[in-house]
Structure 1
Amino acid sequence: MRELEKLAAKIIVVGLCAFVCVYPSMANVSWFNEDAQLLISMKSAMVASNSAFETWSIASNGSPHCSWTGVQCDRRGRVVALDISNMNISGPIPPQIVSLSELRSLNLSNNVFNGGLPPNVSNLRNLESLDVYNNNCSGPLPVELSRLVNLKYLNLGGNYFSGSIPREYAKLTSLEYLSLSGNDLTGAIPPELGFLVNLKSLYLGYYNKFSGGIPPQFGNLSKLVYLDIANCGVEGPIPSELGRLEKLDTLFLQDNALSGPIPPQLGRLGSLKSLDLSLNELTGEIPMEFKELKELKLLNLFINKLHGEIPSFIGDLPNLEVLQLWKNNFRGPVPQQLGQNGRLVEVDVSSNRLTGSIPPNLCNGGKLRILIILNNLFFGPIPETLGTCNSLVRVRMGQNYLNGSIPAGLLYLPRLNMIELHYNYLTGTIPERKGKAPAGASQINLSNNHLGGSLPSSIGLFSALQIFLVNGNRLTGPVPTEIRRLAHITKLDFSRNRFSGSIPAEMGRCKALNYIDLSQNKFSGPMPVQLTGMRNLNYFNVSRNRFNGSIPREFASMQSLSSVDFSYNNFSGLVPTGGQFSYFNVSTFAGNPALCGPFLGSPCSVAASTSPVQAQGNTKGVVSSSLKLVIGLALLFCSLAFAVVAVVKARALRKDRDARSWKMTAFQKLDFGRDEVLESLKEDNVIGKGGAGIVYRGIMSNGEEVAVKKLMRIGSAGSTHDHGFSAEIQTLGRIRHRHIVRLLAFCSNHDTNLLVYEYMPNGSLGELLHGNKGGHLHWQTRYKIALEAAKGLCYLHHDCNPLIVHRDVKSNNILLDSNFEAHVADFGLAKFLQDSGASECMSSIAGSYGYIAPEYAYTLKVDEKSDVYSFGVVLLELITGRKPVGDFGDGVDIVQWMKKTTNSVREGVTKILDARLSSIPLEEAMHLFFVAMLCVEEQSVERPTMREVVQMLADCPKTKPTQYFSPSQKEPKKPVSIQPPNLLTI
């Protein structure tokens, strides 16, 4: 009996042991299945491409979820990390996430999630890292995040969170990284954040609109390495307590409304490498205590109200690489030892009152890339050492008192993109370059100096040159024929010199030229007809020279011409009629007594209406009838030959076309196919032509209307590669926004691409605004179009990853549907086309004449701020009803005309309003005008972002019924007062 009891006891013990051993495994299996089911449930709740969660499936063999994309587990199979960043996921954040109770790291960044964080997010008690950066999340910041006491990393930046920062976040004492930048937060920055003593990085800037100043309590963040509170509206003085942050590496406080002097206590930040206090209202001098900042690499103090001399210790800082002090009130010399550390990369001290000579050792280490000293009082020669500084990319020394000659190698430096030496007292000749190596400069401005001698033939070495200005000098001799090599030149100004001889016919090979000014020289001879082959030519001035002969009639057929001046020469004969010439003023041809014709109101006699060449021909008699017969027979023979060739070619093309198959890629579900798209390509269906292709209107069998853009020769002939064009088209096809024209499909064969867009019945804003129906675009419609187009561009700049820079924002690229709702078209396509080998169809400058931002002149690249400038031009078009160029004469564009006309906003805006509008809400007009002025600021850093533009347009003040204005009146019906939008407070 006892043996049975012992056996039973053993069985019980073994059973208990087995249970103890097996139970955790059973529990793990339960957790395993639970976490897997949660992930599957999350997958069904998220909107993403099929490939994003391709591995997220429970197969019949029980595929472990720990191997799924973005999933990381512990040894028990519990999900501890989830990374689904950069998957283009949209919709709300799945609430099932909060049930992954063992989660320690969650990364949702760079997607399109919307709404707020899930309820009960505080259930993730083990969470140490939460990254929701760059989504569309909105609503207030969740207070319950303060319960996640284990959080070390929290990034909620780049969203649309609103309201104030919860003071409860001070409980997150384990935080080492906190980013709330790039949202719509308001209110004061909580001083309680100063209790987060473990913080190493703190980002609060960009697009937030805080009130008040920087809390002095931030001086308690003793472990802080990176502090960024830029562009968020903070005001008042810089707290001296920040000087206690001994480990601080980077301090960014730029683009705010900070005032008062720079605290000398910042000189205690011995570890500081980057200091940016630019774009504020700081006063006083640079503190002498800054001499202790031995680690400093970047010092940005530009656009403030600082004064005094630049301290000499600035030139002794051993690690200084970037020094930007422009647009202040600094005076005196620049430290002559600046650059001797051999590390200097960028110097910009422009727009001050600096004197003395240029420091000779700026390029000591051969690293100097950017040197800008324009608009000061510098005198003396340009250091010869700069002529051998091969690292230089951009040099701007204009508007000073520099004298002496140009260093021999300066213009021909291999990496130089732009050089400006205008408005100085430079003498000597333009240096000649020996050798055949091409020079790199894309813009050269030597205007308004005392340079003499002839133009060197080595000008032909500037194979990338786009802008060449030598006006206002004493240059002599003929223009060298080597100018024909400037294949990318767009602007040429030789005016007010002593050039002589004839214009070389080879200049006609410069097909990209859109601006030529040869006025006030001693040019002579006939006008070369080859110049009329420049189809981009917009401005042409040859006045006050000694040209003779007739004006070639081909000039009248140049559709791009908007301003010409042939006055005060010796031209004779009939003035060409028709074409663009019918729009020019009679003064264009003044001072040419031998000119005649209906345009001038003076009939031509036989002698007067005949050019010298024609007159010489007339002395030889009339062409004989036998010669006419020979010519006629020759033409008949040529016609027959061409007909035979055409038939043979047509048959070959037909066979070739049949051999090539078309491929169609649809970006959404379509009720039509490839054949219907191809059927639209008829001459009768053409609705537009441009440099990038031809646009056809197509009506599909289901009644849907589409616009088909035909692009030729995207890849090289015979090549199957498109240099990434198809991949980028795929990106454009996925873009969905109410104010972006939808790309429906993409068709291609061996040498032709077709882009199928949704059709816009009301055409483009430019056609409507500047055509006969411009007066029907009432004010409210114009304002609505402005806001809607801004929203479309904002989406491209801020909500696409990577962002898309349009590069050709203009009224003709804003299309209107049947309800006059605006849609931005051709976004980014100019860049893609240029990258794909179709550059022959593009201007060498990205954009259209009159819309191009001024910084292109010295950066030679465009970015999103260039789009902002172009959009500002569109706003001015909406306000004035005028075209960007052509209405103002002498090469003046709408921005320059606006600045000359509007001395004050209240009075000035009434001078430029479109006279076709019968009644305009004055406050709205002034508000839109203010926004336009901000957009077309000359310095790109002073322009708002498109997100800020949308905010300003949406916050337009409401006009009272008595505050309307008619452009036909001289004064508004009721005086009003309005302050301009301030980017520092929005």
Structure 2
Amino acid sequence: MVIVLVSLLHFATFATSAASSVATAGTAAEALLKWKASLDNKNQSLLSSYALQPYFSSFPNLLTIDLFNNSLYGTIPDSIGSLSKLTHLNLANNNLSGTITPSIGPIPTSLKNCTSLKRVRLEGNQLTGNISEAFGIHPSLYYIELSDNNLYGEIPPELGEAAQLGVLDLSSNHLTGMIPKELGRLKSLLQLLLSDNQLSGSIPSEIGMLSALTDFNVASNNLSSVIPKELGECSKLIFLNLSRNILRGSIPSDIGSLQSLQALDLSRNLLTGEIPPQLGSMKQLETLNLSHNNLSSSIPSTFDQSASLTHIDISYNELEGRIPNIKAFHEAPITALQNNKGLCGNATGLEACPKMIPNLPSKRNNQFLVIILVSFLGTLFIIFIIVGVSLILCRRVRKTEAKSKEAQNDNLFAIWSYDGKMVYENIIDATEEFDSKYCIGVGGYGSVYKVELPTSQVVAVKKLHSLPDGEICNQKAFTSEIRALTEIRHRNIDQEYEAHIADFGTARLLKHDSSDWTSLASTFGYMAPELAYTMEVNEKCDVYSFGVLTLEIIMGKHPGDLISSLTSSAFTTLNMPLKDVLDQRLSLPMNEAAREVLSIAKIAIACLHTVPQSRPTMQQVSQELSTQKLHLPSTLHMITLGEVVDL
């Protein structure tokens, strides 16, 4: 508290104009002393029972108020509205309640006077009031978080004038009315979170104009009409949640053009028709929930090639026929497939699909037709035998030649010293022309296949994605990088410092006859969120990816949902026990192991900070991992995520 007061005094003293600096500094200093005295009278070192009533009117040049994650109670003071230069207001995660005093309205109408506002965070309180009276024109405003309160009223259309707005989170309130079409003007908007309210009407087609949008969540409202096809124009969308509404009609095929989408939830609506085949061609889609609708017909065969899909739920529909032949459907629990018209296939709880039996020739066919049919089938059978024998003989010849050539070559993969065509043909044969069943991983730069060569040597082969314009990389640069990979020596490999596997991926592809434009080649779900709009790759991006991978290791699954919750600083997430986050397949660690897990969890969460500058460096991470582990404040099963963050 002393540091805070000294900092405020320093600001109040030196942020005034030259003409009135002495008078303003004196007023600010007097106000600070009064506030300090009120705190001292509490005879406490914390603010756990302190009402938020400082003398804000005495600080006309105040730029930032940041009192989040305390236990402040009472109402927000009138005097905040007089701070015309205020840019950041953060009172999140307190116990503020009731309406804010009459002069500033239920949601501070005096905030309209704070035209310099850039960031407002009031989430996780018990605030009430009409949100439509809160905001005016704020040209510099880029972040609004008012979730988990008791606000009511309609979303003000004036928010469409906040051209710099990047995050708008009004979820978990009591908002009514329609979603303003004016929000379609927010060209910088990344997250639009309006879930768990009482919004009605249709989803505005203008949302499709939000070209930078990555997260759109309007779940648990009363939205009706159809899903606008214009959503397919939000090309950077990663998370789309329209669940728990009363949306009607069919699923627009335009949704399939969202090639960056990782999670799609359309469950618990009144959707009808068939599942669009385009959804099976979405290369990054990991989670798909279409349950509790009225979808019919069979599941499109395009899902047979959906290698990225890991979780599905299509229960409570009218679907029938064979399920796709991929892991996501084969390993899905019966609860994700149940209550359909007649699904079959290789999954727990489903019946096997019946084999198709061709119809026998009708007895009414005349003898001449029978003779022609038999002759045709006999000829076709002979042709198949000849072609089959020829293919077998050719394959044997190729294998014999390959073995003889490989026997003469001591190092099969020496750079450009072997028959490249022969090795390529061996790879094609071993993978059956790169069939998806041999695919063991997909990244932003290519797909990796497991290949067993005729010499019984097992290797990993990466098939690079083609460039957007169809051109290939510079041959000389490509050859040089391959040579570097094969000659590398590193202490983290075998005893001879020889590499056995390497991931050849380049974050930037350049062409000699073009300007220096970059092309993102990272894996979705692991890259830092700021990459989506800054396209700037730096150390902090790697730190974020390290945090995602570390959480995935201790959780036993991708931590996408947890990261989203941590990013929004949801109150329920911070109170979640750490033991519920750990891999449920393993027993709860004890003693020294528990301390190590606690340290790793703290480091991982710190690496995921939404502000890149607040993430640790990798050197700091290394030092934390090598130093003595944290002392357990209580038994591991009682520690919450919030306590981990505060350690």
TM-score when scaled to structure 1?
A: 0.45
CA contact 1:715–1:836 (8 Å) conserved in 2:
no
Distance in 2 of aligned mates of 1:754 and 1:489: 33
Q: Deviations over 1:422-441 (max 9, x none)?
A: 0000000011239x967331
Aligned pair in 2 of structure 1 residues 415, 829: CA closer, same or farther (>3 Å)?
Answer: farther
Match of 1:931 in 2: 600
Out of 307, 314, 318, the residue aligned to residue 56 of structure 2 is 314
Match of 1:531 in 2: 279
Aligned pair in 2 of structure 1 residues 502, 441: CA closer, same or farther (>3 Å)?
Answer: same
Out of 677, 690, 700, the residue aligned to residue 443 of structure 2 is 690
Match of 2:627 in 1: 955
CA contact 2:445–2:506 (8 Å) conserved in 1:
no
CA contact 1:495–1:518 (8 Å) conserved in 2:
yes
Matching of residue 422 in structure 1 with residue 171 in structure 2:
yes
Out of 870, 874, 887, the residue aligned to residue 549 of structure 2 is 874
* One-letter amino acid of the counterpart of residue 55, structure 2: F
* One-letter amino acid of the counterpart of residue 445, structure 1: L
Match of 2:117 in 1: 368
Alpha-carbon deviation of 1:947? Answer: 3.0
Alpha-carbon deviation of 1:677? Answer: 12
Distance in 1 of aligned mates of 2:338 and 2:496: 45
Q: Deviations over 1:387-419 (max 9, x none)?
A: 532322111111111110001132563222111
CA contact 2:280–2:306 (8 Å) conserved in 1:
yes
Alpha-carbon deviation of 1:826? Answer: 7.9
Aligned pair in 2 of structure 1 residues 306, 831: CA closer, same or farther (>3 Å)?
Answer: farther
Aligned pair in 2 of structure 1 residues 904, 561: CA closer, same or farther (>3 Å)?
Answer: closer
Match of 1:462 in 2: 210
Please show how residues 830-849 of structure 1 align to structure 2 within 5 Å. Answer: 830=507, 837=517, 839=519, 842=521, 848-849=524-525
CA contact 1:512–1:536 (8 Å) conserved in 2:
yes
CA contact 2:448–2:462 (8 Å) conserved in 1:
yes
* One-letter amino acid of the counterpart of residue 923, structure 1: E
Aligned pair in 2 of structure 1 residues 525, 270: CA closer, same or farther (>3 Å)?
Answer: closer
Distance in 2 of aligned mates of 1:598 and 1:707: 28
Q: Deviations over 1:358-385 (max 9, x none)?
A: 3224353633221111111221122556
Aligned pair in 2 of structure 1 residues 473, 757: CA closer, same or farther (>3 Å)?
Answer: farther
Matching of residue 543 in structure 1 with residue 285 in structure 2:
no
Distance in 1 of aligned mates of 2:576 and 2:177: 41
Distance in 1 of aligned mates of 2:587 and 2:498: 20
Match of 1:290 in 2: 32
Distance in 1 of aligned mates of 2:537 and 2:81: 29
* One-letter amino acid of the counterpart of residue 592, structure 2: E
Matching of residue 405 in structure 1 with residue 405 in structure 2:
no
Match of 2:225 in 1: 477
* One-letter amino acid of the counterpart of residue 164, structure 2: R
Out of 53, 68, 92, the residue aligned to residue 350 of structure 1 is 92
Match of 1:748 in 2: 477
Aligned pair in 2 of structure 1 residues 266, 409: CA closer, same or farther (>3 Å)?
Answer: closer
Please show how residues 148-167 of structure 1 align to structure 2 within 5 Å. Answer: none
Out of 337, 340, 350, the residue aligned to residue 589 of structure 1 is 337
Alpha-carbon deviation of 1:874? Answer: 3.2
Alpha-carbon deviation of 1:562? Answer: 0.6
* One-letter amino acid of the counterpart of residue 338, structure 1: I
* One-letter amino acid of the counterpart of residue 233, structure 2: R
Matching of residue 332 in structure 1 with residue 74 in structure 2:
yes
Alpha-carbon deviation of 1:836? Answer: 5.5
CA contact 2:223–2:247 (8 Å) conserved in 1:
yes
Aligned pair in 2 of structure 1 residues 579, 837: CA closer, same or farther (>3 Å)?
Answer: farther
CA RMSD between the two structures: 5.5
CA contact 1:872–1:931 (8 Å) conserved in 2:
no
Please show how residues 506-517 of structure 1 align to structure 2 within 5 Å. Answer: 506-517=254-265
CA contact 2:287–2:309 (8 Å) conserved in 1:
yes
Match of 1:769 in 2: none
Match of 1:571 in 2: 319
Alpha-carbon deviation of 1:545? Answer: 0.6
CA contact 1:710–1:753 (8 Å) conserved in 2:
no
Match of 1:111 in 2: none
Q: Deviations over 1:927-957 (max 9, x none)?
A: 1442223422575588654333222221246
SS in 2 for 1:386: coil
Alpha-carbon deviation of 1:570? Answer: 0.9
Alpha-carbon deviation of 1:848? Answer: 3.4
Distance in 2 of aligned mates of 1:865 and 1:418: 21
**What percent identity do the matched residue pairs reach?**
30
Unaligned runs of 5+ in 1: 1-236, 239-252, 254-261, 275-285, 294-302, 611-624, 630-671, 698-705, 727-745, 764-787, 789-815, 959-970
Please show how residues 806-821 of structure 1 align to structure 2 within 5 Å. Answer: 817-818=493-494
Alpha-carbon deviation of 1:525? Answer: 0.9
* One-letter amino acid of the counterpart of residue 323, structure 1: I
Structure number with bigger Rg: 1
Distance in 2 of aligned mates of 1:407 and 1:712: 45
Matching of residue 359 in structure 1 with residue 88 in structure 2:
no
CA contact 2:319–2:342 (8 Å) conserved in 1:
yes
Alpha-carbon deviation of 1:565? Answer: 0.3
Distance in 2 of aligned mates of 1:384 and 1:265: 33
Between structures 1 and 2, the one with greater helix share: 2
SS in 2 for 1:338: helix
Aligned pair in 2 of structure 1 residues 825, 440: CA closer, same or farther (>3 Å)?
Answer: farther
Match of 2:236 in 1: 488
Match of 1:498 in 2: 246
Distance in 2 of aligned mates of 1:903 and 1:353: 21
Matching of residue 561 in structure 1 with residue 309 in structure 2:
yes
Distance in 1 of aligned mates of 2:547 and 2:205: 41
Match of 2:558 in 1: 884
Distance in 2 of aligned mates of 1:510 and 1:308: 49
CA contact 2:548–2:559 (8 Å) conserved in 1:
no
Distance in 2 of aligned mates of 1:565 and 1:593: 15
Aligned pair in 2 of structure 1 residues 956, 337: CA closer, same or farther (>3 Å)?
Answer: closer
CA contact 1:417–1:443 (8 Å) conserved in 2:
yes
Distance in 1 of aligned mates of 2:277 and 2:587: 39
* One-letter amino acid of the counterpart of residue 353, structure 1: N
Q: Deviations over 1:536-576 (max 9, x none)?
A: 10000000011111111322321101100000011122223
TM-score when scaled to structure 2?
A: 0.66
Distance in 2 of aligned mates of 1:526 and 1:317: 62
Match of 1:441 in 2: 189
* One-letter amino acid of the counterpart of residue 748, structure 1: A
Aligned pair in 2 of structure 1 residues 429, 900: CA closer, same or farther (>3 Å)?
Answer: closer
* One-letter amino acid of the counterpart of residue 69, structure 2: K
Aligned pair in 2 of structure 1 residues 428, 408: CA closer, same or farther (>3 Å)?
Answer: same
Distance in 2 of aligned mates of 1:760 and 1:933: 38
Between 1:491-500 and 1:308-317, the stretch displaced more is 308-317
CA contact 2:143–2:168 (8 Å) conserved in 1:
yes
SS in 2 for 1:308: coil
CA contact 2:92–2:125 (8 Å) conserved in 1:
yes
SS in 2 for 1:506: helix
Aligned pair in 2 of structure 1 residues 858, 446: CA closer, same or farther (>3 Å)?
Answer: farther
Aligned pair in 2 of structure 1 residues 475, 826: CA closer, same or farther (>3 Å)?
Answer: same
